[in-house]
Amino acid sequence: MSKDLDSFITGLPKAELHLHIEGSLEPELMFALARRNKVDIPFASVEDVRAAYQFSNLQDFLDIYYAGAQVLREAEDFRDLASAYFARAAADNVRHAEIFFDPQTHTDRGIPFDVVMEGLLSGMAEAEQAGVTSKLILCFLRHLDEEAALATFKQAEKWLDRIAGVGLDSSEMGHPPAKFARVFAAAGEAGLKRVAHAGEEGPPAYVWEALDLLKVDRLDHGNRAMEDAALVQRLAEEQMTLTVCPLSNLKLCVVKDLAQHPIDAMLEAGLAATINSDDPAYFGGYVAENYRAVAKARGLSRGQIAQLARNSFTGSFLSEAEKAAHISALDSYVKAAG
């Protein structure tokens, strides 16, 4: 990749729509929090943690992801986690981020829901003062049952004015979206946006379920939708935003090589695809690195790269006026960059 294209990507105004805040826990911070909170972790060094980040599938990743989350105990920890992510996002010229959090990962080990919220909101407020706006999306863990999700949603009631939407993550295979139809209906009735992971490891049928049963406003991943021509046509017609995560796809073997990644095929099919980092501490790069990696592997043009960034704003849950302001800034940047 040329230095010109590299700097173009770094400076490009962009939003990030698929980021698990717990998945931005870098080994250095994990160790610092383990010491601060006197938590034993199954690694002797930062190098041991990085060596463990060699996964062959989603479940292998999730096992270490949940182990790492054990160090998050106090509101201060969640604030530090968020602040570290936003600093890296700002360096990539992310202007707005819509971040996932997994309250069940914490409440199931005795951490109060309020502690998680207070810490994350504190980090988000600091980031906004520094110029990066953000929204929170509460994710339900799909390997647990819907009753657990409904209980979590009940815990969230006092915070719903600070939560933009709900999502669905964790192990996809064997846990179809239909399993969570009631809690998603409740979230819709409460006025929240709805998103769901579908079509990462799961089949196109899971994407159909997310659309028809969960009534999602945005689709997370969606790679395997490309296997179903009728589904692709529907996603294009509805301009359903797809939050695609290239380095995650590579690390979790969704694609064998980024040279086989479908991102440009998605654009050519008229899909509103975006680029995101998913769990960047575990998958080898934050959002700009995801742009660079897939741009190099697929030979993306500046026009395609700019379209991906434009889609990230149009697919956000910002107001129409806020979207327009960001897109105007993006267009000005692209024009000035020649």
Active site residues: 200
User: Is-contact 19 290, C-beta < 8 A?
Assistant: no
Q: In the chain, where do the E strands start and end?
A: 14-20, 94-101, 133-141, 165-169, 193-198, 218-221, 241-244, 272-275
Q: Which residues of 154-185 are buried (b: 16+ CB within 10 A; e: fewer)?
A: ebbeebeeebbbbbbbbbbeebbbbbbbebbe
**Whose CA is closest to 275, among 253, 295, 251, 303?**
295
> What whole-number distance in Å separates Cα of residue 165 and Cα of residue 188?
9
Sheet holding 94-101, edge to edge: 14-20, 94-101, 133-141, 165-169, 193-198, 218-221, 241-244, 272-275
> What whole-number distance in Å separates Cα of residue 338 and Cα of residue 336?
5
Q: Is 197 annotated as a binding residue?
A: yes
Strand-pair category, 193-198 with 241-244:
unpaired
Q: Is 96 annotated as a binding residue?
A: no
**Does residue 174 come out as left (phi exceeding 0), alpha (psi in the -120 to 50 range) or beta?**
left
Burial of residue 189 (number of CB atoms within 10 Å: 0-12, 13-18, 19+): exposed
> What whole-number distance in Å separates Cα of residue 20 and Cα of residue 99?
6
Q: Is 106 annotated as a binding residue?
A: no
Q: Is 161 annotated as a binding residue?
A: no
**Whose CA is closest to 152, among 182, 183, 188, 115?**
183
CA quadruple 115, 117, 122, 123: dihedral positive or negative? positive
Alpha-helical segments (H) within 156-285: 181-189, 204-212, 229-238, 246-251, 263-268, 280-283
Question: From residue 154, how far is each of 136, 148, 151 by CA, in Å?
Answer: 17, 10, 5
Q: Residues at the annotated binding site for substrate? A: 279
Which residues belong to the annotated binding site for Zn(2+)? 18, 20, 197, 278
- Which residue positions form the known binding site? 18, 20, 197, 278-279
